[in-house]
Structure 1
Amino acid sequence: MTFSIVARQGTAFGVAVASKFLSVGALVPAAEAGVGAVATQAWANVAYRPQGMAVLRSGVGAAGTVAALLAADEGRAHRQVGVVGPAGDGVTYTGAECLPWAGGVAGDGYAIQGNILTGPEVVRDMQAAWLASARLPFAERLVAALAAGDAAGGDARGRQSAALYAVEPGRGVGGWGDTAYDLRVDDHPEPVAELHRLLAVHEVLHGASDPAQLLPLEGELASEVRDLLGALGYDSLERWAGVENLEGRLAAGRIDPVVLDHLRTAASRAAG
């Protein structure tokens, strides 16, 4: 009832998943910076998440971690799991009792799996999208692979939820912790598309400014910004940015084009 990709890129680990199931992000993904990532699905054994992290943390690779999880689980025939560790190939497992179509593919740094799918083209197209998108940022790459599976047919029963969970050292919001992305669409007619929209919002609010793109806040641009802020009822860029959760993109004497676009859009909407 679910399709997912578990992957590694540089020092980042993550999982993207979609399903005809409420709140799939609450059950399937697990990841830990410097350790690896796990997706548990089909008749999901949520204990695989802490257990898998513990085995990976001990230095065992992805194949050994999958073997350890299955060995201790009498319901292994109903399980599906994907694991990546700090190095080498990812590993995917599909139990013999998983409902068709069910299966997966894996390679260097990734594992893709799904069950109750429209067919093998779902995981095949996800793999192709992952391999073709190496230049994309990690989160975008994960969602692109998920979108390819969705476009290929995805869950045979329909659509309901999707999630993205990714970790990287020091990449938490505001530099706090390692959780770079924890985005969930719990109940939506087009959950993968909505997940992509949320990712774009996340990048606006929490992405890092490119110093080379910052614009000098002077002359006509400074006047425009003052007028836009005034139309919105603010006397400073800092006050408005704090309300909009954009304070992380502020720079003294300059303005991020992302902030400027957001300000222009807000003022245009307020004007009707």
Structure 2
Amino acid sequence: MTFSIVGFDPKTKELGIATQSKFLGVGAVVPWAVAGVGAVATQSYANTSYGPNGLDLMASGKSAQETLDILTSNDDQKEFRQAGIVDANGNSATFTGEKCYDWAGGIAGENFAAQGNILVSEETVQAMASTFQETEGSLAERLLAALDAGQAAGGDSRGMQSAALLVVKEKGGYGGYNDRFIDLRVDDHPDPIKDLLRIYQLQQLYFAPTKEENILEITGEVQNELTTHLKRLGYLIDDNLFKALTTYIHTENFEAREQAEGKIDRDILEYMKNQA
């Protein structure tokens, strides 16, 4: 009932999984990852122990294929399982048990493993694999593009319900306290991949670092626009523009994009313009 893609970016060392299923809350079952270790997707009558056990095996030095071989050899229900694994060296492996419902299968290549079951056809997995390999951008963007392409190629034959994206990176989590770089879930939605793409853009807006070219001086037309929108939104009351901007930024949780006094991130100004 699920298709997924597991990937690794050798430049950033990010590891991640994107998945979609006709299943409630797929993000709570399929994706598992630890920075510097590996990533696992476990699905089709999912044995969720494949996640932590697989990560422990890779942490001990096992490759993706060795890990998958050990997991399946210890599972007397392996023919009902499907899994994809990528380790922190970009080695990959995929497994589809003989009792998974058609169409079921996977493709493993350099830095990725794509797999699915109960699919319209094998074109879903082929589309994920080729799109991941051909797409430029961050690991998250490549995983999402691959997932979207898989759905466009047919996807789950039973339909859509939930989708998830998990990307880990050393000290990539909020405040640098953990490795959960991106952890987004759409648990129940008629078009979960599109909604996942939407909330990914919000995640980038809130937490991605400001681009140097997007730092604007609050003067001239920028100052006029900022004043207009802060008044419209009810923040500019006492004519203290910078105080009002600080209040707005902290209210909207844009601290990661806050600039020195007298400057503003273009993306914050654009977001402000579009607010009702």
**What are the residue-to-residue correspondences of 1:1-20 with 2, within 5 Å?**
1-10=1-10, 11-20=13-22
Amino acid of the residue matched to residue 219 of structure 1? G
RMSD between aligned residues:
1.0
CA distance in 2 between counterparts of 1:116 and 1:26 reads: 20
Letter in 1 for 2:9: Q
1-side partners of 2:78 and 2:265: how far apart?
51
* 1:92 Cα deviation from its structure 2 partner: 0.2
Q: Does 1:248 align with 2:217?
A: no
Q: Counterpart in 2 of 1:153?
A: 154
Cα distance in 2 for partners of 1:256, 1:229 equals 15
Contact 1:40-1:46 within 8 A present in 2 as well: yes
Deviations 1:184-229 (A, max 9, x none): 0111100111111110111111111012321111223123212211
The answer for unaligned runs of 5 or more in structure 2 is 237-243
Q: Do the aligned partners of 2:95 and 2:106 also contact (CA within 8 Å) in 1?
A: yes
State the distance in 1 between where 2:90 and 2:215 align: 39
1:230-267, Cα deviation, whole Å (9 max, x unpaired): 2211131111111111121011121111001011112x
- Counterpart in 1 of 2:107? 105
Letter matched to residue 185 of structure 1 = V
1:27-46 correspondence runs (5 A):
27-46=29-48
Displacement of 1:9 in angstroms is 0.6
**Is the partner of 1:150 in helix, strand or coil?**
helix
Q: Distance in 2 between matches of 1:174 and 1:243?
A: 18
1:82 aligns with 2:84: yes
Q: Distance in 1 between matches of 2:115 and 2:194?
A: 20
Note if 1:192 corresponds to 2:201.
no
DSSP 3-state at the match of 1:92: strand
Tell me the alpha carbon deviations over residues 4-41 of structure 1, each in whole angstroms, 9 at most, x when there is no partner. Answer: 00110121000000000110110000000000000000
Residue 32 of structure 2 aligns to a residue in which SS? strand
Which of 254, 258, 265 is residue 267 of structure 2 equivalent to? 258
Identity %: 44
Report the TM-score when normalising by structure 1: 0.95
**TM score, norm. by length of structure 2:** 0.94
Larger deviation, residues 15-24 vs 204-213: 204-213
Please give the secondary structure, in 2, of the residue aligned with 1:208.
coil
Q: Deviations over 1:115-164 (max 9, x none)?
A: 0000110000111110111x211111100000000001100001100000
User: How many positions carry a matched residue from both structures?
Assistant: 266
Please list every run of 5 or more consecutive structure 1 residues that lacks an aligned counterpart in the other structure. none
Aligned counterparts of 2:145 and 2:266: Cα–Cα separation in 1:
25
Q: How far, CA to CA, are the matches of 2:162 and 2:146 in structure 1?
A: 16
Q: Deviations for 1:88-111, whole angstroms, at most 9, x for unmatched residues?
A: 431000001111100000111100
